[in-house]
Amino acid sequence: MNVSRPAVHPVEVPPVTEGAVHNAPRGRMKDVQGMPGTLGGLALRLLQFIFAAVSLCVMATTSDFPSVTAFRYLVASVGLQCLWSFSLAIVDAYALLVRRSLRNCTMVGLFIVGDAVTSTLTFSAACSSAGITVLIGNDLDKCGLNHCAQFESATAMAFISWNRLI
């Protein structure tokens, strides 16, 4: 009986193949480091959070940033980036600890939308700050009166914390 069974039901192979096809995306995405829920993704999120936090601190500690609208916008958007990156880093760490996959459509869609919003805000704020930093430093040569080094550092950190990886 046991010997004949595999020969009598060779039809049972297709369901196994279908199951493999359904599992294929999950299996293919599993090896990509940097995705949500992997160690690489957690490291990237933490780096993004650190750069955004440094940019926020450097810009917020200059005395004259509230007088320029673009610098206020940079502080606001980099602060939002900090919150977002920190939240996702916590989610990634949780997923790693309980060994749970974050690769379902709802979660990935949420991450993509949130990343798109925060990265667009951070990029536009960094661009406008860069424009003003170059205006103060190169075009007007007024670095003696302003905190050019801090403005430039904060802008550079904001550019680094802007990424479009998911």
Q: What's the rounded Cα separation, in Å, for the pair 148 and 15?
A: 66
Q: How near is the Cβ of 30 to a second copy at its closest, in Å?
A: 24
Closer to a second copy by Cβ: residue 70 or 91: 70
Nearer to a second copy, 56 or 130 (CB): 130
We find the least distance from the C-beta atom of residue 124 to a second copy, in angstroms, to be 4
Nearer to a second copy, 38 or 129 (CB): 129
Beta carbon of residue 66, minimum distance to a second copy (angstroms, whole number)? 10
Report how far residue 53's alpha carbon sits from residue 107's, in angstroms, rounded to the nearest whole number.
25
- What residue ranges bind a second copy (CB under 8 A)? 67-70, 123-125, 127-132, 134-135, 138-139
CA distance 135 to 141: 8
**Which residue, 109 or 131, is less far from a second copy as judged by CB?**
131
Neighbours of 127 (CB within 10 A): 16
Q: Which is nearer to a second copy, 63 or 104 (CB)?
A: 63
Shortest Å distance, C-beta 128 to a second copy: 3
| Residue recorded with tokens 């900090």 | 82
Min dist CB 101 to a second copy, Å, is: 27
105-134 and 69-97 helices, crossing angle to 10° = 150
Sequence-distant (≥ 6) Cβ neighbours of residue 157 within 8 angstroms? 51, 52, 54, 55, 58
Calpha distance 106→110 (Å, rounded): 6
